[in-house]
Structure 1
Amino acid sequence: MRIVVLAGGIGGARFLRGLQQAVPDAEITVVGNTGDDIHLFGLKVCPDLDTVMYTLGGGIHEEQGWGRADETFAVKEELAAYGVGPEWFGLGDRDFATHIVRTQMLGAGYPLSAVTEALCARWQPGVRLLPMSDDRVETHVAIEVDGEQRAVHFQEYWVKLRASVDAKAVVAVGAEAAKPAPGVLEAIAAADVVLFPPSNPVVSVGTI
C-alpha cells in the first residue's frame, strides 16, 4: 500500500509513528510543512521536518515532542551573553548541528528536498520525507498590538507571543509562486490513500 501523509510537526510526527506500527509494510511518503521554517543566527531552521525526522528516527525529546533528546544549551547561553537574540527561540547544541549541515548544503546549491534526504540518511525515519516545496515559503500572522497592526513570523506568534494575541490574518508568504518539491505530486498521484494527521489545519495542513 502506498500512503501519503501531509504532516506538520508534533501531532503529525506522533501520528506517523502509530501509522508505521499499524501498517508496517506500507510505503509511506510524508509531505512536510515548511511554512514554519525560519532563519536564525544565519541558519535555516525547519521545525516540522526536523520533528518528523527526530521522532521517527529515535532522537526526539519525548516529553516536549520537539527538539533533541539529552539536549544541552551552551551555544544558546553564549549567544545570550553576547546579547545576540532572539532568546525566545531555544535551539539546543545537538539541534544546531542539523541546522549547520542544512545551511551549508543549501549554500552549496543543493535544494531543500535533497538536503532533507541527506539528513534522513542518518536518522533512517522509515518514511520518505519530502518538504512541500524547495522554494521559500514563510507563514506570517497579522496582529494588532496597542492599536498598531503588524505582521510577525508564525514562530514569533506561536513561541514568543504564545498565540495570546488575536490573529487578524494568516498569510503564507511566497506560496503563490512556490512549486511542489520534486516527487510530491507524483507521490500523491500514485497513492492508495492520502491522510491528514492531527496537524494545525491552517498553518500546517492548510499551508501544504
Structure 2
Amino acid sequence: MSDRRPSKILALSGGVGGAKLACGLYAVLPPGGLGVLVNTGDDFSHLGLSISPDLDTVMYTLAGVVNPETGWGRAGESWTFMDATAALGGDAWFRLGDKDLAVHVERTRRLRAGEPLGAVTAELCHRFGIAAEVMPMSDDAIATLVDSDAGTLAFQDYFVRRGCEPRVRGFRFQGIEAARPNPRALAWLEDPDLAAIVIGPSNPFVSVAPILAVPGLRDALAQRRVPLVAVSPIVGGQAIKGPAAKMMDELGIRPSAAWVAEQYGDLLDGLVIDETDRDLAAGIHGPRVLVAQTVMRTATDRARLAGEVLGFAAELRR
C-alpha cells in the first residue's frame, strides 16, 4: 500500500485576488499539483475578438508576465494598436495592449476554427510555460449581467466603461442554464490525489457565483471528499481589489468576512480571514476559521499565505 499523500489542489478564481493566491499555491506546490478553475462570466467580444479577462489574468500571473502595478494585463506593454484605433474613432474604452492583443487574436482564431475554450486555454498556458492546469469554468458562453439603476448592463460595460458607478440591484448569468461544467474540472474533483479545494479572495458576486452557478458544479463540490477552504476578499469591511464592498453596500449587505461565510454556506469547511478581522472569528458559525495576514503585496506574501492555507486544509483533512 502506498503512503503517498494527496498533493493536488483545485483553486477557484476570478481576477486579481484569486490569481495572486493561485500564484502563491503554484510557488509552493509540486509541478502539476495545481488546477485553477476560472470564471468566464466576464468574457465578451470586443473589436471582433474573444476576450477572457479572468483567464488571462490568471495566465499572466502564473507565467510571471503580469503588470505588477495593476495586477492585470502584461508587463512592459505598448499601446500602438490601441492608439491607432482611437485615432480612427474606434471603440477604445477597453484597452488592449499590443502583447495582450496577440493572445486575443490567437484565442479568437482557434475558437473560430472550432476548438473549445478549455483546449485553447491549455495551449496558451503551454506556450507561456505554465505547469499548472488553468481551466475555464465552462466551454459554453456565459455572460454576467448587472441589473443597475442605469438598466441591465453587460459586465464589462458596468465595470470598465462606466467604472462601477451605477448602483447595483442584482446579477444574472446569461446562458447559465444550458452551460455544462468543464469536464477537466470534474476530473480534478474525482482525482484521488486531490487534497483540498480553495476558493481564492475573489468577488463572491461576479467571480465565484458564476462558477458555482454552472449546472452540476456546485453539486460536485458539495459531494467532495476533501476540505474546501475560502479566503475572504473582504478585509476590515473593504474589498482589497475591485468593487465587492460597494456591491454589497448597494445590495443592503454589511461588507464583512462573516458575510462571506454566509454566502458560501455549507460548502465551506474552513474560512481564512485577515488579522484586521480577528474579532469577527468567534461570531462566524459553520466553518472553522483561520486568522492570517491575507493581503498579498509581494511574491513572499503570496507563498506565505498559500502555505498557511494548505496547512489549514491539512488540519481539516485530519
- State the percentage of identical aligned residues: 42
Question: 1 CA distance for matches of 2:29 and 2:118?
Answer: 25
1:111 CA displacement: 0.5
3-state SS of 1:19 partner: helix
Letter in 2 for 1:100: V
Q: CA RMSD in A?
A: 1.3
| Equivalent residue runs for 1:30-45 within 5 Å | 30-45=36-51
Question: 2 CA distance for matches of 1:9 and 1:144?
Answer: 25
Question: 2 CA distance for matches of 1:26 and 1:121?
Answer: 12
Question: 1 CA distance for matches of 2:148 and 2:160?
Answer: 15
Say if 1:113 and 1:182, in contact at 8 Å, map to a contact too: no
Count of equivalent residues: 203
Question: 1 CA distance for matches of 2:106 and 2:183?
Answer: 21
In structure 2, what is the equivalent of residue 15 of structure 1?
A: 21
1:46 CA displacement: 0.4
Relative contact order higher in (CA < 8 Å, ≥ 6 apart): 1
In structure 2, what is the equivalent of residue 131 of structure 1?
A: 136
Could you list the per-position Cα deviations for residues 30-75 of structure 1 after superposition, in whole angstroms to 9, with x for gaps in the alignment? Answer: 1111000010010000000011111111211111100011111111
Structure 1: runs of 5+ lacking an equivalent = none
In structure 1, what is the equivalent of residue 198 of structure 2?
A: 195
Say if 2:121 and 2:135, in contact at 8 Å, map to a contact too: yes
The 1:26/1:78 distance shift into structure 2, 3 A limit, reads closer
Specify which of 54, 63, 71 is matched with residue 69 of structure 2: 63
Question: 2 CA distance for matches of 1:206 and 1:55?
Answer: 22
TM-score with structure 2 setting the length = 0.62
In structure 1, what is the equivalent of residue 101 of structure 2?
A: 96
| Equivalent residue runs for 1:167-182 within 5 Å | 167-182=168-183
In structure 1, what is the equivalent of residue 157 of structure 2?
A: 156
Question: 1 CA distance for matches of 2:74 and 2:207?
Answer: 21
In structure 2, what is the equivalent of residue 186 of structure 1?
A: 187
Runs (4 or more) in structure 1 with deviation over 3 Å come to: 22-26
More helix by share: 2
1:26 CA displacement: 6.7
Question: 2 CA distance for matches of 1:63 and 1:84?
Answer: 27
Letter in 1 for 2:111: L
1:142 CA displacement: 1.2
Larger radius of gyration: 2
Question: 2 CA distance for matches of 1:25 and 1:107?
Answer: 32
Say if 1:143 and 1:152, in contact at 8 Å, map to a contact too: yes
| Equivalent residue runs for 1:42-57 within 5 Å | 42-57=48-63
Letter in 1 for 2:205: V
Question: 1 CA distance for matches of 2:153 and 2:182?
Answer: 26
Letter in 2 for 1:142: D
Say if 1:9 and 1:48, in contact at 8 Å, map to a contact too: yes
Specify which of 120, 129, 135 is matched with residue 115 of structure 1: 120
Question: 2 CA distance for matches of 1:26 and 1:118?
Answer: 15
1:204 CA displacement: 0.7
3-state SS of 2:130 partner: coil
Matching of residue 165 in structure 1 with residue 171 in structure 2: no
In structure 1, what is the equivalent of residue 287 of structure 2?
A: none
Question: 2 CA distance for matches of 1:152 and 1:185?
Answer: 31
3-state SS of 1:205 partner: helix
3-state SS of 2:120 partner: helix
